[in-house]
Amino acid sequence: MKTDEQKPAVVLLSGGLDSATAAAIARDEGFAVHGLTVDYGQRHRFEIEAARRMAAWLGVCRHWVVRVELDLFGGSALTTADEVPKGRPVAEIGRGIPVTYVPARNTVLLSLALACAEVVGAADIFIGANVVDYSGYPDCRPEFIAAFEQLANLATKAAVEGQTRFRIRAPLSGLSKAQIIRRGMDLGVDYSLTHSCYDPSPAGLSCGRCDSCLLRLKGFAEAGLTDPLPYEPCR
């Protein structure tokens, strides 16, 4: 529930486990959350649907769903019909940058979050980026986040006129997947509403074998918990 005292924050909501946790942290810190979901031409719609469920569950101040035609460029298994890797040993994930990398994705997402933040008067932008148990994407690293924060404070009217000092918040940055899940459980996050799979079945069941599913399952196992999501039975 938003009160007059609450400051707004923009939270990038992908529909996944990490961004749900980042959003719960923002809410726990007392922010009025503006959820921002970017429809960049993901190969399936389940992520956007999960983001909508999570936004409703969080009781966000407003949920923005913005379309950007990143899929026109291609260049990623997440925006084309290219196959995503399946069944990789977990120890290999994060070594090298995989075919599921989307060119400049987090730069595009944060630039849209910055536009949103400037319009709604938010100084804080939350992103669920993390680097432990992750997929090797360069635009999740702390040095990328710091560089974007610097850029944001040069790019915008709100910063240049001295009204706002933008902060790019990546509260999960140093956490393992298990730690992220434990943090989210402490905050009551309902992970059954999230979606992580890169290649779900037509009915939306998670494959259990792509990098994203494998990291998620490992995280739940290490946290001593059971993932509430349904998985394809014959994986």
Interface ranges with a second copy (CB under 8 A): 64, 66-70, 72-75, 97, 101-108, 110-112, 114-116, 118-119, 138-139, 141, 143-144, 147-148, 150-152, 154-161
Residue with tokens 């989210």: 184
Beta-bridge mates of residue 126 = 11, 169
Tell me the two tokens of residue 18. Answer: 């990490």
SS3 233: coil
Q: Give the three-state DSSP class for 186.
A: helix
Minimum Å distance from CB 8 to a second copy?
13
Task: Go through 38-57 and write b for each residue having 16 or more CB atoms within 10 A of its CB, e for each that does not.
Answer: bbbbbbbebbbebbbbbbeb
The distance of closest approach from Cβ of residue 179 to a second copy in the complex, given in angstroms and rounded to an integer, is: 25
Q: How far apart, in whole angstroms, are the C-alpha atoms of residue 9 and residue 122?
A: 5
SS3 for 176? coil
Nearer to a second copy, 24 or 158 (CB): 158
105 vs 209, which CB is nearer to a second copy?
A: 105
* Minimum separation from the CB atom of position 215 to a second copy (A): 19
Residue number with CB closer to a second copy (156 or 173) = 156
In 3D space, the residue among 116, 90, 12 whose CA is nearest the CA of residue 54 turns out to be 12
Shortest separation between residue 191's beta carbon and a second copy, angstroms: 29
Min separation Cβ 78 and a second copy, Å: 13
Q: Which residue has the tokens 């938010």?
A: 122
- Taking the least distance from each CB to a second copy, the nearer of 9 and 178 is 9
Nearer to a second copy, 67 or 235 (CB): 67
